[in-house]
Amino acid sequence: MCRLFGLSAAPKRVQATFWLLEAPDSLTQQSRREPDGTGLGIFTADGEPEIDKRPLAAYEDRAFAEEAKHCRSVTFIAHVRYASTGALEQRNTHPFQQHGRLFAHNGVIGDLPALDAELGDARGLVAGETDSERFFALITKHIAANGGAVGDGIAAAARWVADSLPVYALNLVLTTPTELWALRYPDTHELHVLQRAAGGQHRDRYLDHTSAAGRIRTRSGQLAETPAVVVASERMDEDPGWQAMRSGELLHVDGDLSVTRRIVLEDPPRRPLSLADLDAHAAASQA
């Protein structure tokens, strides 16, 4: 299953180190399907998006993914991809950038020709082959239709997909230079949020989060003194403050680290997909 991670320390820029892939050092790790790509997205002090991503198609790509990546930003987005659609190429690797926003997705959307037809001119935003980038383009289209309101655009796009297309999952994280949004829909995959006080639960610890699956790890010394909000596919430490997002819930972290959460999709997808409905490659990506 793809791994999603988002972090906001708004309004403060903080230094963080990411490891997007750990070296296989046990039979358990070696027996798992290896991921197909890794990516990290941040914003410069001027608000320009920067993406560091690569498909894992060769040994040197894996070495790249295992290297520590030191970066500074207000918001961060990281993704480990297990491909369901699209070749192992740079253009199909998350996160994606459109109109100064960054986006990563975990799930499967079916009937891509119908999605392309709905995109219309917004199809030109899509450089690759994935359902994820197409979904992002639909969100971008609906943001524009809603006067630039990102949350309303996410909700409108997700509602159209849930009502019109076969859906396995639409879990996502979207970031701007100062804000973060996350959606869980439906309850196929988990998505968790932690509103972390400065220093964490003990009030004196730096952030050191590790995926139990051994895929994403991040560390930030500055978060011993600065609060943050973290969104991840799984609880990444022992902090009891982790909360599971509800199906259909849209979370927003604004430029002052205030958090709002609301249900934007109350009903299940009209055409839900199960693992049995997916081809072998797509099903393996979601297991």
CA atoms within 13 A on the CB side of 6: 32
Q: Token pair for residue 265?
A: 């999709």
**pLDDT tens track for 180-229:** 999 999 999 999 999 999 999 988 899 999 987 658 999 999 999 999 99
> What is the pLDDT at residue 26?
44
**pLDDT tens track for 81-103:** 887 888 878 899 999 999 999 99
Q: Which are the contacts of 224, defined by CB distance < 8 A and separation ≥ 6?
A: 198, 199, 200, 204, 205, 206, 207
**pLDDT tens track for 120-167:** 999 999 999 999 999 999 999 999 999 999 999 999 999 999 999 999
> What is the pLDDT at residue 30?
46
pTM score, whole prediction: 0.94
Distance of alpha carbon 53 from alpha carbon 90, whole angstroms: 7
- Cβ neighbours around 121 below 10 Å, total: 8
Distance of alpha carbon 182 from alpha carbon 5, whole angstroms: 10
Q: What DSSP assignment string belongs to 223-264? A: GGTS-EEEEESS--SS-TT-EEPPTTEEEEE-TT--EEEEE-
In the structure, what pLDDT confidence band is assigned to residue 73 with cuts at 50, 70 and 90? Answer: very high
Q: Token pair for residue 184?
A: 């869980």
Pairing status of strand 166-167 against strand 271-272: parallel
**pLDDT tens track for 14-63:** 999 999 987 654 444 544 567 888 999 999 999 999 999 999 876 667 78
Cis peptide before 269 (omega within 30 of 0): no
Say if residue 284's pLDDT is above 80. no
Q: Quick one: CA dihedral 107, 284, 233, 20, positive or negative?
A: negative
Q: Which residue has the higher pLDDT, 130 or 278?
A: 130
> What is the pLDDT at residue 31?
43
Q: Is the Cβ–Cβ distance between 104 and 94 less than 8 Å?
A: yes
**pLDDT tens track for 249-269:** 999 999 999 999 999 999 999
> What is the pLDDT at residue 277?
83
Say if residue 64's pLDDT is above 90. no
